[in-house]
A and B are shown apart, each in its own frame.
Chain A
Amino acid sequence: MLSYLIRRLLLLIPTMIGATALIFFVMELSPVSVTNTLLSREGNVLPGARKAREEYLNRRYGLNNPPVVRYFKWLNGISPVGVKEAGEGFPGAWRFGFKTPDLGDSFPQSKKVSEIILDALPVTLLLQAISIPIAYGIAIWTGIFTARHRGKIQDIATGSGLLALWSLPVIWVSVMLIGFFANKHYFPWFPTGELHEPQSTEWTFLPGNGTRGWLLDTAWHLILPVVCLTYANFAYLSKLTRAALLDTLGADFVRTARAKGLGERVVLYRHAFRNSLLPLITVFASLLPVMITGSVVVEKVFSINGTGRMIIDSMLAKDTELFLSVSTITLLLQLVGYLLADFAYVLADPRVSYE
């Protein structure tokens, strides 16, 4: 088990280097230079000043270095082991050793990449942390329900309903939800976007003083985005649960369990269900990076400043450092997610073992 783990962890390193190099050099191939996009936003600059500004940007961010040098600089920055500033990290006197990984600076925003990510991340994490358990909960429940009623009218009705949900594009649904459920002229039940009412800054935290309070206000603002994030996911997950459960219910050991005279509930929950969890775990592993990247569409439509919007903006501004850092984190989570899934199999299924 341990040797397997170590092997998998070591394999992470070349995978990461390969993937980040690919992203970096593909971005480098684009005909647009980051100084260009910066300068074009500044408009109205006299030629001399523009030249000076371009030189300043190139000097400050080392853009004159060849791409290979810049890539290795960046790689050295994010690596916990490498060339370091004198006196920093361990061992103190050496130029080479352990140090704090640094994601670098974003040029277009002239800010530390880690700060930018930390600004946007909590919002996305909050949304995902609410929507993923809900999606899983509903999916497992409907999955079991439809599997139990296989072929009956309940199954077919739920099945078509889920298929319909799955096919609805999120962008359309979110715009419709805003148009009907946030509109004073139809059902003004929800807010149209963002995470707080403008007034909420003066409210107390919990309900009181005739206001609903900051906490409830946030929850209220989260409802529509969470619905949009959830519905497509659970449609897919519940189909998956149903298929896996039906597969197990047809297995010999289930027949044996029934033959022993066990009750239907015991057969379903204790014997069949646990064995059909594997595909759900696999899917969860691939959902882990989504927790970070968020959903661009939902964040855009509901004007939420999460990571999805941040990533798109970084791509448009050719913000290589930011984009590369987010990709690295996502990639790392994806790989770690698969690793975790592999180990979760052991817990869910006694037949799996890495000894």
Chain B
Amino acid sequence: MENRFGVKDLFMFGLMVVLIVMVGLSMRQFDRQWQDVQEIKKQNSQLTSEVATIRSQIESGAVTVGGGNAAGPRALPAREMPVFAGLVGAEQKPDFSRGDWLIDNFGTKVGRLTPLVSSDLYQQWIESRVCECLATRDPDKLDFVPLLAESWEIKDYSDKFEAYAAPLRKRGLSPEQFTEEIKKDPKAPLALEIVFKIRRGVTFSDGTPLTAEDVKFTFDWIMNPDVNAARARAYMTNFKEAVVDNSHQVTFRFTEPTFNTFETIGTQVILSKKFYSRFTPQQYNDKVGLLIGTGPYRLSDPENWGPGRGVELVRNERYWGIKPTFDRLIWRELEDESAEIVTFGNGEMDIFACQPEQYEKLLKDERIVKMSQHLQYPSPLNGYTYIGWNQKRKDTAGVERPTPFADKRVRQAMTLLIDRERIAKEVYLGYATVASGPFDPASPQTDPAVKPWPYDEAKAKALLAQAGFADKNGDGVIDGPDGKPFRFKLSYPSGSATYQRVVFFLKDSFAKAGVTMEPEPLDWPVLIDRLKKSQFDSCSLGWGGVVESDPYQIFHSSQIAGEGDNRTAYANKDLDAQIELARRTVDDAKRMELWHAVHRTLHDDQPYTFLFNRPSLVFINGRVKNVGVTKLGLNYLRLYPNPSPWYVPRAAQRYTK
């Protein structure tokens, strides 16, 4: 009974708890030291093998002063390469300094860093700092400039190929069937050859030199059906083989001429054969953090990154090009908007991309404006928003019926009824421009002569009347040819206040003209499902963009059936032919003419009402200097491996010891 829990026991108990906690903590500390030791050991062994390689090269006489051991003309030194022009320019500034960290934010959790198998944009932000490709777009001229390649040669055998393929083309095959036929025929001539000379003296961040074998491995790996890289593979249906000519030259061969082949091959990041071939495709698909490359930054552990820890890149000291400015790149995972704003205001996050309302609000906040710089810039990567008019709706039983939108005049009238200029001004606060077609206004694909349809209610009503839609009983509501009031639903993704306001604006505009539009906000997966089953009247969504986009998947009639993206069942034989022709034209100037024709046809047909191209709005911490805008967006390109010219003057550096 008197065996009570007393003060002494309590003391002993407390002592025990403290002891256990201490042991736990010291184990944790030991773990950290162990990791550091492993890292040092690894670096040490890499250094040793590098020194050995250099010694053997010296002994064999392969290395001469100046590094010019390549046969033929010497490659351009990095300092003179167009890609590094921005960085070299920054180095000339009086307050230029290296050092400091750049802190960016994802706004979501990053789950996977392994190249090819990851599908999110954020992974590409990181990949483009760690890995490099053979060529990249010049951000100002938009043409391709060498990066890992010294030079390339494109051998276009289109004429010979077309002569061979002419009878096959007359058979009216779909482009997919055509590709199949060509691949089956062993006598089919080559359509295209691209020879890449690989730059010498480039190493991966673990010290292994980059050779033609790595380039070949990358593309063989993509074409391996067990590797979960369907997305990359989809652009390589015409890929035949990659052949290693010598240690620094690769020839790619293609079965069909396709306009974006060079871009597909040239901008594919090159994987290290030594690093990735250790894994089976299954292991590769499942591992989340396998990332190593030749780029200016590296993961401190290229194998064992795991989600939930944010991403931190450190400088790759073995980088072959011009040393990047920041010591480290850090991505946080702040998801909450107010936390993001506060963090940015505290100077603990350097880039804050915002929505129009946030942008306007922050512009009024003097403290934020004083400590930062703000920019708005158009970027082809932002794509466009649209309203898609479904021409054949399926009911729940799967029976297909044409909708009023099957008539071109009705679609044109719908566009005429929408005052897009006003929406841009009132809902997007002026941070939007009216789109005239699917191509970016800055892209050479756009025909500058095409102007967006104006807002014109009278003309719209006239067009509707021609199509049989008019107010027949004088109640102010437009009736269809069957005498019933003209009404339709607009499906759109729920959850965005801006979208909601646009949709209400549309509803009002249509109501004014006597057309009833019912807004139908849907959850994203449900909306996707409806689109797939064609159970909608119209939908409002957006497409992402690239510099030269391919309208084939969205507007070609072969993409209506099955799994294509032509969800609105739009079919126009002339357009099909125009798109096919443009896609197989390798010559840039000729192809742009053809794209202009596609743009004009789409403008006249209005399968979509093209709504807006929206600029990016961004706030950047004031200590970062040399921030500018290129044709591709900010001069710190998040999606391309181009080196960034941003820097922080020594005095303003926050994270340098």
A interface residues (Cβ-Cβ under 8 A, vs B): 31-33, 36-37, 40-54, 56, 109-111, 119-120, 123, 175, 178-179, 182-185, 188, 191-194, 198-199, 201, 205-206, 214-215, 300-303, 305, 309, 313, 316, 318
Known: A32-B525, A119-B307, A309-B109. A175 touches B25 (CB 8 A): no
Known: A48-B176, A51-B562. A305 touches B109 (CB 8 A): yes
Cβ proximity bits B30-69 to A, threshold 8 Å, 1 near / 0 not: 0010000000000000000000000000000000000000
**B562 and A37 contact, CB distance less than 8 A:** no
Main secondary structure on chain A at its contact with chain B?
Answer: helix
Cβ proximity bits B542-558 to A, threshold 8 Å, 1 near / 0 not: 00100000000100000
State how many angstroms separate the Cβ of A29 from the closest Cβ of chain B: 13
- The 8 Å CB contact of A198, one of B25, B101, B367, B562, is B101
* B308 neighbours in A (Cβ, 8 Å): 119-120, 123, 305
**A36 and B544 contact, CB distance less than 8 A:** no
* B103 neighbours in A (Cβ, 8 Å): 198
The answer for the CA separation of A33 and B345 in the assembled complex, in Å, is: 42
- The 8 Å CB contact of B234, one of A36, A45, A179, A318, is A45
* A185 neighbours in B (Cβ, 8 Å): 345, 367
**A215 and B346 contact, CB distance less than 8 A:** no
B108-137 residues at the A interface, CB under 8 angstroms: 109, 111-112, 119-120
* A194 neighbours in B (Cβ, 8 Å): 310, 332-334
User: At the interface, yes or no: B312 with Cβ under 8 Å from chain A?
Assistant: yes
**B526 and A31 contact, CB distance less than 8 A:** yes
B interface residues (Cβ-Cβ under 8 A, vs A): 25, 28-29, 32, 101, 103, 109, 111-112, 119-120, 176, 228, 230-231, 233-235, 237, 285-286, 288, 306-308, 310, 312, 330, 332-336, 338-339, 342-343, 345-348, 367, 524-526, 528-529, 532, 544, 553, 559, 562-564, 655
* B28 neighbours in A (Cβ, 8 Å): 205
**B529 and A36 contact, CB distance less than 8 A:** yes
**B339 and A36 contact, CB distance less than 8 A:** no
Query: Can you name 28 A-B pairs with beta carbons within 8 Å?
Result: A32-B526, A32-B528, A36-B528, A40-B524, A41-B119, A47-B176, A47-B559, A47-B562, A48-B234, A48-B237, A49-B230, A50-B234, A110-B286, A178-B342, A179-B338, A179-B342, A183-B345, A184-B347, A185-B345, A192-B343, A193-B334, A198-B101, A198-B103, A199-B655, A301-B336, A301-B338, A302-B336, A305-B307
**B343 and A193 contact, CB distance less than 8 A:** yes
Closest B residue by C-beta to A214: B32
Closest A residue by C-beta to B348: A192
* B544 neighbours in A (Cβ, 8 Å): 43-44
State how many angstroms separate the Cβ of A233 from the closest Cβ of chain B: 21
* B336 neighbours in A (Cβ, 8 Å): 175, 178, 193, 300-303
**B233 and A33 contact, CB distance less than 8 A:** no
The answer for the CA separation of A199 and B233 in the assembled complex, in Å, is: 39
Closest A residue by C-beta to B552: A46
* B343 neighbours in A (Cβ, 8 Å): 182, 192-193
New contact pairs (5) apart from A36-B528, A45-B230, A192-B343, CB-CB < 8 Å = A50-B230, A111-B286, A175-B336, A185-B367, A303-B334
State how many angstroms separate the Cβ of B147 from the closest Cβ of chain A: 23
* B334 neighbours in A (Cβ, 8 Å): 192-194, 303
* A41 neighbours in B (Cβ, 8 Å): 119-120
The answer for the CA separation of A169 and B459 in the assembled complex, in Å, is: 53
